[in-house]
């Protein structure tokens, strides 16, 4: 078998699960992204592979989650009747209980473990799990559409093998479950750029959340105000995330690259586009650090398909035609989608709104340079 430079993790089994017709988390977006990649010929590139996956084992799940929580997930998953246990965050509007719930969550975790294994054991440069990125799951509680924290389980596996791991989260929501797992360790650095918890779920991720004990300085948060646009978002990434990644110098980088930051996402208030998204993906690629990429959020299905297709193309050094392939248009048009182009123009928010957002991010950057940079980069 030729060397695997990149790997795409994809299981058709995800098409058999459904959070509910009215739930914003649509697993069919995974298939839509996969179809658009195929239409662009991104499944037949040299030195890439498409890999299926197995569900994570109980032993792997218990590297983070409690036995009582896993037992309750299994019990509810097997029931023909919807159940609820709010102690474990199960059965509310965000985290509904449905038949096969545990199998779906365990398969998602297994997908991310396979991506980590390919990077660690088979020396893939990049492994991209479209399904991963359930960053809100806590040790004993489901939250924010997330039941099993696949990123933490994969990072735990890598840390057990002696790897220093950097977790970067560019989803619109704070990666609270991952931060929780590593808040007191210097073996894993977490960096999250997200919409501010002052008014936005999950209400965490402020710049003063910097870790504790040995982990002090290794949790980094950049809360962004509504109407943060491409230029402001790139400023935050360039002045905070990029130098800290270099300073921490990880063996492996794990990224959650959700696209609910986009200005047309129905659940969020940021205003970025494919422009800054592609800039960030390109900059991560240029670091040449072994890379595990996870899908994450995105509640406009076409945004998700376009962004993850662009990300996969960048990971493989492929430039795409900005017009969507006709074969893909023929598939989405009957579904009511009028999209014809892959790329967005760079977007600037309205002046008054971006002035407020810019002032907030500059204040945040100054705080991080004062508290975090001396720990990671030495005297600044």
Q: What is the pLDDT of residues 151-160, one digit of tens each?
A: 999 999 999 9
Alpha helix (H) ranges present in the chain?
A: 28-39, 58-61, 67-78, 101-121, 150-160, 176-181, 230-236, 242-248, 274-286, 301-315, 326-332, 351-371, 373-377
Query: Which residues contact residue 200 at a Cβ distance below 8 angstroms, ignoring those fewer than 6 apart?
Result: 172, 173, 194, 268, 269
* Inside any domain, residue 363: yes
Q: What is the mean pLDDT of the chain?
A: 96
The strand pair at 165-169 and 252-256 is best described as: parallel
* Inside any domain, residue 150: yes
* Inside any domain, residue 53: yes
> In which domain, by residue range, is 138 found?
6-377
23 is catalytic: no
Distance from C-alpha of 370 to C-alpha of 338, rounded to nearest angstrom:
47
* Arithmetic mean of pLDDT, 50-77: 97
* Arithmetic mean of pLDDT, 299-306: 97
* Arithmetic mean of pLDDT, 33-41: 97
- Residue count (the chain): 380
pLDDT digits (tens, 9 = 90+) for 74-103: 999 999 888 899 999 999 999 999 999 999
* Inside any domain, residue 360: yes
* Inside any domain, residue 226: yes
The band of 12, judged by pLDDT with boundaries at 50, 70 and 90, is confident
Q: Determine the pLDDT at residue 368.
A: 98
Q: How many domains does the chain have?
A: 1
Percent helix, percent strand, percent coil in the chain, to nearest 5: 40, 15, 45
Q: Determine the pLDDT at residue 80.
A: 87
Instruction: Write the burial class of residue 232 (CB in 10 Å: 0-12 exposed, 13-18 middle, 19+ buried).
Output: buried
The strand pair at 291-294 and 126-129 is best described as: parallel
This prediction's pTM: 0.97
Query: Which residues contact residue 88 at a Cβ distance below 8 angstroms, ignoring those fewer than 6 apart?
Result: 68, 69, 72, 73, 140, 141, 142
Distance from C-alpha of 72 to C-alpha of 329, rounded to nearest angstrom:
43
pLDDT surpassing 90 at residue 373:
yes
Distance from C-alpha of 142 to C-alpha of 148, rounded to nearest angstrom:
7
The band of 380, judged by pLDDT with boundaries at 50, 70 and 90, is very low
Alpha helix (H) ranges present in 169-229?
A: 176-181
Buried b / exposed e along 253-279 (16+ C-beta atoms within 10 A): bbbbbbbbbbbebebbbbbbbbbbbbb
* Inside any domain, residue 22: yes
User: Comparing C-alpha atoms, which of 198, 89, 199 is closest to residue 148?
Assistant: 89
The band of 16, judged by pLDDT with boundaries at 50, 70 and 90, is confident
pLDDT digits (tens, 9 = 90+) for 230-242: 999 999 999 999 9
Contact 307, 262 (CB under 8 A): yes
Contact 270, 228 (CB under 8 A): yes
Contact 219, 182 (CB under 8 A): yes
> Where residue 44 sits, what CATH number does that domain have?
3.40.800.20
Distance from C-alpha of 136 to C-alpha of 144, rounded to nearest angstrom:
6
* Residue 334 DSSP one-character state: G
* Inside any domain, residue 347: yes
Encoded tokens for 29: 């977006």
* Inside any domain, residue 1: no
pLDDT surpassing 70 at residue 3:
no
The band of 379, judged by pLDDT with boundaries at 50, 70 and 90, is very low
User: Comparing C-alpha atoms, which of 209, 231, 206, 230 is closest to residue 218?
Assistant: 209
Active-site choice (23, 43, 47, 136): 136
């Amino acid at each position: 078998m030729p060397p695997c430079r990149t790997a795409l993790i994809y299981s058709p089994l995800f098409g058999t699960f459904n959070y509910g017709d009215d739930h914003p988390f649509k697993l069919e977006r995974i298939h839509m992204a996969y179809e658009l990649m195929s239409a662009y010929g991104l499944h037949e590139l040299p030195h890439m592979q498409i890999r299926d996956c197995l569900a994570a084992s109980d032993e792997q799940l218990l590297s983070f989650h409690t036995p009582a929580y896993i037992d309750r997930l299994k019990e509810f998953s097997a029931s023909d009747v919807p159940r609820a246990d709010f102690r474990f965050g199960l059965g509310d509007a965000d985290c509904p209980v449905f038949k096969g719930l545990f199998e779906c969550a365990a398969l998602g975790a297994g997908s991310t473990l396979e991506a980590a294994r390919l990077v660690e054991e088979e020396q893939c440069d990049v492994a991209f799990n479209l399904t991963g990125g359930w960053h809100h799951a806590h040790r004993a509680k489901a939250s924010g559409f997330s039941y099993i924290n696949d990123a933490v389980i994969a990072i735990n596996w890598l840390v057990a093998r002696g790897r220093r791991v950097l977790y970067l989260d560019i989803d619109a929501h704070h990666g609270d479950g991952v931060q929780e797992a590593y808040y007191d360790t210097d073996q894993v650095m977490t960096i999250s750029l997200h919409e501010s918890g002052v008014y936005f779920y999950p209400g965490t991720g402020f710049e003063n959340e910097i870790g504790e004990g040995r982990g002090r300085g290794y949790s980094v948060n950049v809360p962004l105000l509504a109407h943060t646009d491409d230029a402001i978002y790139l400023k935050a990434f360039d002045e905070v995330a990029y130098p800290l990644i270099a300073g921490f110098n990880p063996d492996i980088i794990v990224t959650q690259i959700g696209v609910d930051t986009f200005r047309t996402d129905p659940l969020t208030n940021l205003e970025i586009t494919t422009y800054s998204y592609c800039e960030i993906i390109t900059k991560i690629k240029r670091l040449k650090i072994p890379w595990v990429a996870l899908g994450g959020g995105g509640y406009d299905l076409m945004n998700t398909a376009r962004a993850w297709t662009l990300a996969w193309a960048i990971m493989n050094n492929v430039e795409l035609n900005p017009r969507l392939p006709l074969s893909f248009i023929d598939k989405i048009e009957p579904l009511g989608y009028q999209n014809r182009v892959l790329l967005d123009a760079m977007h600037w928010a309205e002046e008054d709104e971006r002035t407020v957002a810019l002032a907030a991010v500059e204040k945040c950057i100054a705080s991080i340079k004062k508290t975090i940079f001396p720990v990671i980069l030495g005297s600044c």
